[in-house]
Amino acid sequence: MECVRKTNQNTIDRYDLWVNSSGTKFDLHFRLLFFSLDIVIPDKQKRTVEIIRRLKRAYPDAHCALNHSTPFELLVATILSAQCTDERVNIVTATLFRKYRGPQDFADVSQEELEKDIHSTGFFRNKAKNIKAASQRLLEVYEGKIPEKMEEILTLGGVARKTANVVLGNAFGIASGVVVDTHVGRLSQRLGLTTNENAEKIEADLTKLVPKKHWIMFPHWMIFHGRQVCIARKPKCEICVLANICPSRKLFAPEL
């Protein structure tokens, strides 16, 4: 049976549907064949726009994976997420946020008790110290409320640009920058959006390429893709919606 590929304006919007000459639809799962047809987009800005378009369609439900009900809870959860999975953090905070209701409770608890409560997230001594310091400063300087300015939130214990961007973006909808975690950093390098290793330099590169209206959501799309497809050790290039515009595909999957 001779088949022809049915596309939508020459894009990959519908790459899993073929039709035969009678118009009958059936799924052939032909991604391997299709992605062998590379599309060269040398302009980084145009490539970034295409990356965003595809990831937005692939992950319409992308969101912040850290469970929280207040900006302060998101701050604590983000501090705990350093070198720890979001899943583990959510397990810990499910109990933690019932025990400690706000900055005052965290400021009052002893260092030793808080360390026990967050032990399983790793680096528990530094994390407990930072959470207590941030809570104390919030009480002393900001009336217990998370400030909504980058320069102010950076004065809190344990808060660097990544944490600040997470809180400002997801709690307040303020596009202060682009969150760069291990997934965003790895994918940005593989997609040729940066050659830097340092998170702040990667962020600087991304803010030049990603339209500001996407600064908050771009990391979520990248993180979802990094967890499900472009994993660290062995990316699944054969099912990747970015494969034919990814400069790293030939490195990881030269047979495609």
* Among candidate residues 131, 118, 132, the one with its CA nearest the CA of residue 89: 118
Task: Enumerate residues 6+ apart whose C-beta is below 8 A from 229.
Answer: 235, 236, 239, 240, 241
| Residue 209, both tokens | 């390429």
The Cα 189–Cα 226 span in angstroms is 12
| Residue 56, both tokens | 């937005």
- 3-state SS class at 5: strand
Active site residue 16: no
DSSP state of 26: E
Give the side-chain half-sphere CA count within 13 A for 126. Answer: 10
Q: Out of 162, 205, 236, 250, which one is annotated catalytic? A: 162
Task: Note whether 168 and 153 are within 8 A (CB).
Answer: yes
Active site residue 25: no
Q: Using alpha carbons, list the distances in angstroms from residue 39 to 12, 35, 50, 247.
A: 11, 9, 11, 10
Task: Enumerate residues 6+ apart whose C-beta is below 8 A from 46.
Answer: none
DSSP state of 83: T
The Cα 240–Cα 192 span in angstroms is 16
List beta partners, residue 19.
4, 25
List beta partners, residue 133.
none
Q: Out of 181, 205, 213, 236, which one is annotated catalytic? A: 181
- Active site residues per annotation: 162, 181
